[in-house]
Amino acid sequence: MRISDLVAKYIIDMLDEQDGNAEIKRNELASVLGCVPSQINYVITSRFTPEQGYIVESRRGGGGYIRITRINATRQNAIMHIINSIGKRLDSASAEIMLTNMLSREIVSENTARLIASAISERAYFDVPQQYRDLLRAAVFKNMLLTLLQSGD
């Protein structure tokens, strides 16, 4: 398991244990997980964004902290929020993170997540010219999510 995955899992576990709110001291967490503080920053800025259903606040200084709050929204609102956050282009790594978050928040079932994962994977776009892959992936992901809204799955 990569260190970024380990940090993300640790934070998600904290959020689960503390009703969707976690207060983190970056240096302390880095010490516990055996990584550098900048890795904590990287994970928070890449995996705990508003588009992925989180609010992040930070306070600097000696007693500084990073507070992460999971946004609790209805399934339909969460899906619409994700659709609106995708934009015109979507790289495979960002798409996978969004999908993983949707699965962990139980917005999609495991079977649905597997289907979407196969449709947004880099392998699915192998024959598509590089400059069009992220455009196509964004359109496919949005359309699949819109279909989920309509079907109620």
Query: What is the spatial distance between Cα 67 and Cα 56, in angstroms, rounded to a whole number?
Result: 6
One digit per residue, the tens of pLDDT, for the chain of length 153 reads 688 889 999 999 999 899 889 999 888 898 999 999 889 989 998 888 876 778 899 887 666 789 999 877 788 888 888 888 888 999 999 899 889 888 888 889 999 999 999 999 999 999 999 999 999 999 999 999 999 988 766
Q: Which residues make Cβ contacts (< 8 Å) with residue 152, sequence separation at least 6?
A: none
Phi/psi at 67 (5° precision): -110, 125
Amino acid at 70: R
Q: Among candidates 90, 107, 87, 101, which has minimal Cα distance to 148?
A: 107
Q: Which residues make Cβ contacts (< 8 Å) with residue 79, sequence separation at least 6?
A: 102, 107, 145, 148, 149
Helix axes 75-86, 130-151, angle to 10 degrees: 160
pLDDT at 52: 75
Q: What is the CATH number of domain 3-70?
A: 3.30.56.130
pLDDT at 153: 62
Q: The CATH number of 75-151 is which of 3.10.150, 1.10.260, 1.10.1200, 3.30.67?
A: 1.10.1200
Q: Is 63 helix (H, G, I), strand (E, B) or coil?
A: coil
With a threshold of 0.75, does the pTM exceed it?
A: no
Query: What is the spatial distance between Cα 106 and Cα 110, in angstroms, rounded to a whole number?
Result: 9
Q: Write down the domain spans for the chain.
A: 3-70, 75-151
Q: Is 54 helix (H, G, I), strand (E, B) or coil?
A: strand
